[in-house]
Every structure is written in structure tokens, then in C-alpha cells.
Amino acid sequence: MQTVLDKRSPTPLYHQLKSAILQAIQAGQWKADDRLPTESELVEIYHVSKITVREALRELAQMGYVRREQGRGTFVARTHLEQGPRELTSFTEEMRRRGYGSASRVLGREIVTPTAELAAKLELAKGEQVFRLRRLRMANDQPMGVQTAYLPVRLTPGLERHNFESRSLYEILRKEYGLVPARATETHSAIVADAETAALLGIPKRSPAMTAERITFLASGRPLEVVESVMRGDQYRIVLDLVSDDPEVRRS
């Protein structure tokens, strides 16, 4: 068990504590229905204040990883299995599996007020802000796409201070914030690249491109991010495995 948190890190202590507790749960140190140490015990273990402990446990409960019972304590929640896409990976991991070297160039990072449509997709309360990260994604030093990710500031405070050119966003979310993407819905369509996007991708203006919008969810069902991607039409393709729903075909 991790007993010392990094007080010099840009990640708030309660998020570091949340991540440490979640990693212990995922490692099997605490199993479903196990009672976690008391608030006072967590204070002693991690050398933090009770306020930090309570905030970490509150967020873990909101995310569906623990449940708090009045007068009894905090317990590891039972996970719910969902049927859906087989794999949910980052661009970095996708390129690694294909044998390509991956890299990113940050085009912009900032805290912004979301549009009403974006706020609805992320299920944000009125006035909540999002962190917007725009990156040029490359494989073997060749531009592949432009991606813009939006994440709730409430879930990821201080995220804008991390290095996104040397680390995967999903790696940072998992290790620093204890946020693990569980499933996503993705919508694709064909477009022509505008002048700015074409210049970034090194292709002629109005070249064919593919756009995708991904909404990623935590295991609790809470939206974690919305990602808007524009990928090169000459380098990227979508491959789907389709299975017949005819019972006779499935039995053959």
C-alpha cells in the first residue's frame, strides 16, 4: 500500500488519495463488500487531513467504487458487468499494438466554459467548466489526426499542468486521478478537411477525412470525457467485426 503522497505534485492530495485507494481495490487488497479502514486510520496511513480523506471517499462513492453506510463505515462496492465494445484504448496504446511509434504535439490546453450541448453530454451542472486539450496525433512521425478532448474540471483539477507530449492522457487519468475509462460510444462520419486541419495533417485542403465523437464513461456510468477527432482519410480506416443474428447461422 502506498503510504506517502506527493505534496509537491500539481494533482490535489484528495485525488492522489482517491487514486491510491482505487489502485489497492483493483489490486485485490480490498475486495467487494470489504470494509475500508476508518477515516482516522486512513489519516494515519497516508499522512493527510480528515478533510482530504472525506473528499477522496466522497468521490469514490460518486464514481460507484465504494459505498458509505451510516454508522458502519465505507465498503468496497460490487462492480457491475456491462456488455459492449471489447476494447477501449488510447491512441498511444492503439499505435503501440500496431507496431507504430506514437507522438503528440499539444496545440492548446485551457479551462473553458462548455457549450450547452457539451455540458449536456458530460452531465455537468450549470456553471461547471471543462478542461480542453487539443493535440496533433502522429504515428511514426507522420500526422494522423487532430483530437480535442473535453473533461470536467471537477473530476480532474490541475490536469492542465501535466505533460501530454510525453504521457498518455489515459495514463495520467488512471495513475494520478484514479479515473479508469470503462466504456464509450463513438459516432463516425465522413467530411472534407478545412484549411487549418489540412495544414496540420500535411494534406491538400478539402481532402477526405473522417471525424469521430467519442463519449467515454466510468464504470459508474458517469461521463468522463468527450473527444472530437478528425483523422486522415488516406491513412485511417474503421474495421468492424460483424456477427449474424440468425440463430441457424450461429449454430452452424
* Rg, Å, the chain Cα set: 21
CATH of the domain at 48: 1.10.10.10
The answer as to whether 240 is a domain residue is no
For residue 39, give the DSSP letter.
Answer: H
- Same domain (yes/no): 72, 192: no
The answer to whether position 167 is within a domain reads yes
Residue 241 lies in a domain: no
Let me know whether 109 and 224 are in one domain: yes
Would residue 210 count as lying in a domain? Answer: yes
* Structural domain contains residue 8: no
CATH number of the domain enclosing 188: 3.40.1410.10
3-state secondary structure of 124: coil
**66, part of any domain:** yes
Q: Which domain holds residue 100?
A: 91-232
Domain assignment of residue 7, yes or no: no
**What is the model's pLDDT at position 237?**
66
Q: What pLDDT, on a 0 to 100 scale, did the predictor assign at position 136?
A: 94
Cα 165 from Cα 91, distance rounded (Å)? 13
Question: Are residues 150 and 52 both part of a single domain?
Answer: no
Tally the domains of the chain.
2
Q: What is the pLDDT of residue 141?
A: 78
Q: Quote the pTM value.
A: 0.64
The low-confidence residues of the chain, meaning pLDDT below 70, are 1-4, 78-101, 236-252
Residue pointed to by grid coordinates 487514486? 19
- Residue entry with cell 450549470: 126
> For 130-175, what is each residue's pLDDT tens digit?
999 999 988 877 888 999 999 999 999 999 999 898 888 988 999 9
